[in-house]
């Protein structure tokens, strides 16, 4: 087994390596001399395998560290930064008060179709390609894409690296394309750490890489028992694969997505979030602690990570000392809130009162001390995936593939702890069933960034209610250019194979 003390020692070096590389102009330059080159990294890994483990740890650090999108501003803090933007673009999360200006451009929709806006488009592009580049270094260090490491520890790391590479490519397809079009050239593909800038590849090739990476990762991580929920494992890879197949929806993709989500539900051992965990004042929040049994993937944050003002919690939580408490208010969309039945426990997650803090998630996402603006250094954890979303995805792909019985069963299983009477679901079919699954996705996963993915793959309109500071009461189709990111100007300027316009 690998010594965790040495992993920590090598993580510092690995993070430096990670921050030395990215995309765009950085792919055109040789790596600066103060950092490890790809060849040096491979040589170092051969001498000490813990370099590989440390780099994998560094990849997970990119998911929560600030500045990983290359801008270093107060909305640049890893995966959870994009979860906020995606919830806004799906119509779920309203920016109802905006004192400091953060997220103004996203919610005004004025710059979403302007590829020159570095503030919007460069950040996610750089973040996901950083993870891809770093994953490629791990894969190269373990022998390359076709290698199957002999040691179990190395097999598990290879599986993690391929999962993270696939996860990043999947999110790039969601943010930077409207829908699946096999022939459309959408993204440059990098499968090792030394290739120069390539042209964009068609969607069929990008998804082939995503699917292959995840299938191989599932095999490589067979038997892997991860040390914490920070790491991905075979079950996480199965869910990401199901998401990708549900979006592509070609051939038997929907059936495969249904089988994968069924397998995770039936064998992974994660219970649904309980009624007591759904909202304060239950037995304890199910949304601020990685040890919540329904959490499949998340980050256990401690004071060692140093997150404070710039963080997801700072932007969302009224009880954290940052923007949400002092002037940039994110609330549930009023029209969505009005669709939640009065006897649904999830309605109590949101502040029903009037005033600046109306409809904030004060009973869903909160620092346990529950003192306004209290949490200065972030100790509440980051949630990346929970089993509840797997039930919703399973219900969706089952309905889309014609298995409405399974769809109704999964929906009832999820809702039994949330509303007193779920019998109405038995009478749903066709579009009515599909619409109900989508509505439950919006309610259940509010603030978790997943509804945007459902909006794209199901081709639903984005609908806003009355409590948006900018552009309230509007409806936009899922493929409106204002709801999809553009390949940034920086990449267009520095990659000779990419020209203006990806939409």
> What is the Cα–Cα distance from 17 to 10, expressed in whole angstroms?
11
Q: Which residues contact 199 (CB under 8 A, 6 or more apart)?
A: 185, 188, 497, 498
> Which residues in the chain show pLDDT less than 70?
1-49, 283-284, 500-503
Q: Is residue 238 part of a domain?
A: no
426 shares a domain with 310:
yes
CA atoms within 13 A on the CB side of 295: 23
CA-CA-CA-CA dihedral for 486, 488, 489, 491, to nearest 10: -130
347 shares a domain with 270:
yes
Residue 130 sits in a domain of what CATH number?
1.25.40
100 shares a domain with 163:
no
Locus of tokens 């939409």? 503
Question: Where are the strands (E) in 32-147, listed by range?
Answer: 93-98
Q: What is the DSSP string of 379-439?
A: -SPEEEEEHHHHHHHHHHHHHHTT-HHHHHHHHHHHHTTTSS--GGGGG--HHHHHHHHHH
> What is the Cα–Cα distance from 303 to 169, expressed in whole angstroms?
31
> What is the Cα–Cα distance from 469 to 463, expressed in whole angstroms?
15
> Parallel, antiparallel, or unpaired: how do β-strands 475-476 and 185-188 relate?
unpaired
Domain containing 145: what range?
1-62+115-224+463-468+479-503
Give pLDDT tens digits for 445-489.
999 999 999 999 999 999 999 999 999 999 999 999 999 999 999
Q: Is residue 231 part of a domain?
A: no
Per-residue confidence (pLDDT) for residue 116, from 0 to 100: 77
Per-residue confidence (pLDDT) for residue 467, from 0 to 100: 97
422 shares a domain with 308:
yes
Per-residue confidence (pLDDT) for residue 285, from 0 to 100: 83
Q: Is residue 145 part of a domain?
A: yes
9 shares a domain with 51:
yes
Per-residue confidence (pLDDT) for residue 41, from 0 to 100: 64
Per-residue confidence (pLDDT) for residue 39, from 0 to 100: 67
Give the burial string for 53-71 (b: 16+ CB within 10 Å, else e). bbbbbbbbbbbbbbbbbbb
346 shares a domain with 216:
no
Of 301, 451, 428, 448, the closest CA to residue 377 belongs to 301
Helix segments in 90-202, DSSP class H: 104-108, 123-141, 152-176
CB of 296 closer than 8 Å to CB of 387: yes
318 shares a domain with 381:
yes
357 shares a domain with 278:
yes
pTM, to two decimals: 0.92
Domain total in the chain: 2
273 shares a domain with 413:
yes
Q: Is residue 82 part of a domain?
A: no
Give pLDDT tens digits for 245-259.
999 999 999 999 999
287 shares a domain with 163:
no
Q: Is residue 237 part of a domain?
A: no
Per-residue confidence (pLDDT) for residue 38, from 0 to 100: 62
Q: Is residue 80 part of a domain?
A: no
Per-residue confidence (pLDDT) for residue 18, from 0 to 100: 39
Per-residue confidence (pLDDT) for residue 499, from 0 to 100: 80
265 shares a domain with 195:
no
501 shares a domain with 399:
no
């Amino acid at each position: 087994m690998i010594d965790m003390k040495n992993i920590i020692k090598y993580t510092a070096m690995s993070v430096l390596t990670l921050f030395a590389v990215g995309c765009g102009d950085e792919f055109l330059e040789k790596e600066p001399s103060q950092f490890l080159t790809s060849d040096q990294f491979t040589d170092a890994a051969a001498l000490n395998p813990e370099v590989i483990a440390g780099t994998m740890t560094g990849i997970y650090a990119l998911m929560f560290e600030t500045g990983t999108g290359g801008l270093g501003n107060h909305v640049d803090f890893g995966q959870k930064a994009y979860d906020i933007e995606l919830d806004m673009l799906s119509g779920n999360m309203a920016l109802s008060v905006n004192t400091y200006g953060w997220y103004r451009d996203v919610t005004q929709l004025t710059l979403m179709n302007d590829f020159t806006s570095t503030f919007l488009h460069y950040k996610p592009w750089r973040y996901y390609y950083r993870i891809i580049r770093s994953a490629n270094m791990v894969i190269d260090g373990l022998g390359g894409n076709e290698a199957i490491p002999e040691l179990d520890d190395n097999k598990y790391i290879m599986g993690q690296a391929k999962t993270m590479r696939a996860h990043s490519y999947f999110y790039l397809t969601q943010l930077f394309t409207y829908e699946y079009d096999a022939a459309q050239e959408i993204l440059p593909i990098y499968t090792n750490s030394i290739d120069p800038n390539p042209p964009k590849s068609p969607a069929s090739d990008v998804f082939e890489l995503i699917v292959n990476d995840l299938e191989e990762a599932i095999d490589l991580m067979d038997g892997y028992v991860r040390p914490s929920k920070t790491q991905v494992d075979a079950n996480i890879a199965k869910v990401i694969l199901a998401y990708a197949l549900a979006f592509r929806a070609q051939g038997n993709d929907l059936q495969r997505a249904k089988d994968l989500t069924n397998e995770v539900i039936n064998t992974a051992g994660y219970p649904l979030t309980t009624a007591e965990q759904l909202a304060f004042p239950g037995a304890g929040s199910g949304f601020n602690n990685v040890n919540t049994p329904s959490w499949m993937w998340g980050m256990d944050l401690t004071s060692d990570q140093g997150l404070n003002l710039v963080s997801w919690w700072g932007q969302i939580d009224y009880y954290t000392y940052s923007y949400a408490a002092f002037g940039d208010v994110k609330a549930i969309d009023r029209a969505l809130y009005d669709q939640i039945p009065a006897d649904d426990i999830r309605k109590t997650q949101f502040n029903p009162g009037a005033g600046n803090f109306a409809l904030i998630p004060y009973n869903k996402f909160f620092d346990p001390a529950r003192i306004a603006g209290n949490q200065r250094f972030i100790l509440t954890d980051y949630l990346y995936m929970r089993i509840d979303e797997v039930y919703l995805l399973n219900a969706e792909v089952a309905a889309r593939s014609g298995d409405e019985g399974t769809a109704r069963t999964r929906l009832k299983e999820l809702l039994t702890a949330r509303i007193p009477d779920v019998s109405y679901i038995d009478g749903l079919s066709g579009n009515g069933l599909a619409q109900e699954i989508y509505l439950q996705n919006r309610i259940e996963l509010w603030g978790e960034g997943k509804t945007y993915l459902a909006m794209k793959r199901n081709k639903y309109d984005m609908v806003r209610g009355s409590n948006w500071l900018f552009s309230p009461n509007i409806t936009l189709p899922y493929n409106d250019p204002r709801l999809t990111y553009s390949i940034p100007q920086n990449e267009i300027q520095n990659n000779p194979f990419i020209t203006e316009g990806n939409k």
